[in-house]
Chain A
């Protein structure tokens, strides 16, 4: 009787072990294939940490050639429309940060050679914060920011 139980127990643990393996490998493969998705940058808890994890440096020049279009007051932090337009030449990447979010980096757009300096999307904001756009052109980083007041937060709840 005891040997039977042991046998069943062994069988059961073997089966769950195999499933566990399958799940973990299944989950890992897609992450590995995303070469450009920098985990460290998206998990950074402050803006400078996110910028340096993403670009390797956090030396940014404030630029008035970057225009951020976002509402002054966002009633619902879950949907904040943000557009970034820049007239800087040779833009290769535009990234968006909301500095009071738990992880400020919200999005990073890698632009191809023919792309214009424009992106628009909708982001979530936990509370009133500055939306910061960081533009990479050549080897330099430029930034601009705009404050958005949030009345109802969009993270958690």
Chain B
């Protein structure tokens, strides 16, 4: 699965990371228009981003994050060429991860 797109760039020692994940992020409140039944909740609960075995950011999400989530954050202490890894886990136990080099 390639559900994650990640870009990271370092300028003046600060690395900006931008992440796009494709995921339905169903709240559990929405109804299926055809059947009238509620669509069960299905959302990402945890996103972890690591740089050289150090966790730089852990995001705990509720169902109120938009569909196909976008996330951006900044951290210092990384150099261009370093590898960043990111992974997510949702409330159904599905997961995915990817790696990208910092530009």
With A122-B70, A123-B66 as given contacts, are A109 and B92 in contact (CB-CB < 8 Å)?
no
With A34-B45, A36-B58, A122-B70 as given contacts, are A114 and B75 in contact (CB-CB < 8 Å)?
yes
The answer on a CB contact under 8 Å between A110 and B57 is yes
The answer on a CB contact under 8 Å between A107 and B55 is no
The answer on a CB contact under 8 Å between A124 and B27 is yes
The answer on a CB contact under 8 Å between A112 and B55 is yes
The answer on a CB contact under 8 Å between A118 and B66 is no
Minimum CB distance partner of B45 in chain A: A37
- Report the number of A-B residue pairs with Cβ-Cβ less than 8 Å: 131
The answer on a CB contact under 8 Å between B64 and A101 is yes
Is B3 in the interface zone, CB < 8 Å from A? no
Give the number of chain A interface residues (Cβ < 8 Å). 44
Chain A proximity of B23: nearest CB distance (Å): 12
Bound: A21/B72 CA distance, A:
39
Interface residues on B, range: 35 or more
Bound: A108/B59 CA distance, A:
6
Chain A residues with CB under 8 A of B70 = 81, 120-122
Q: Find B58's partner among A109, A121, A122 (CB 8 Å cutoff).
A: A109
The answer on a CB contact under 8 Å between A30 and B89 is yes
Bound: A115/B76 CA distance, A:
6
Minimum CB distance partner of A105 in chain B: B62
**A-B residue pairs in contact (CB < 8 Å), sample of 22:** A30-B89, A30-B91, A30-B93, A37-B45, A78-B66, A79-B66, A80-B66, A103-B62, A107-B60, A107-B61, A107-B65, A110-B59, A115-B57, A116-B76, A119-B59, A120-B70, A121-B59, A121-B71, A122-B65, A122-B66, A122-B70, A156-B29
The 3 closest A-B pairs by CB, nearest first: A30-B93, A116-B74, A114-B77
Q: Apart from A112-B57, A115-B56, what 18 extra A-B contacts exist at CB < 8 Å?
A: A29-B93, A31-B91, A34-B89, A80-B66, A105-B62, A107-B60, A108-B59, A108-B60, A108-B61, A109-B59, A109-B73, A111-B56, A114-B77, A125-B64, A155-B64, A156-B27, A156-B30, A157-B31
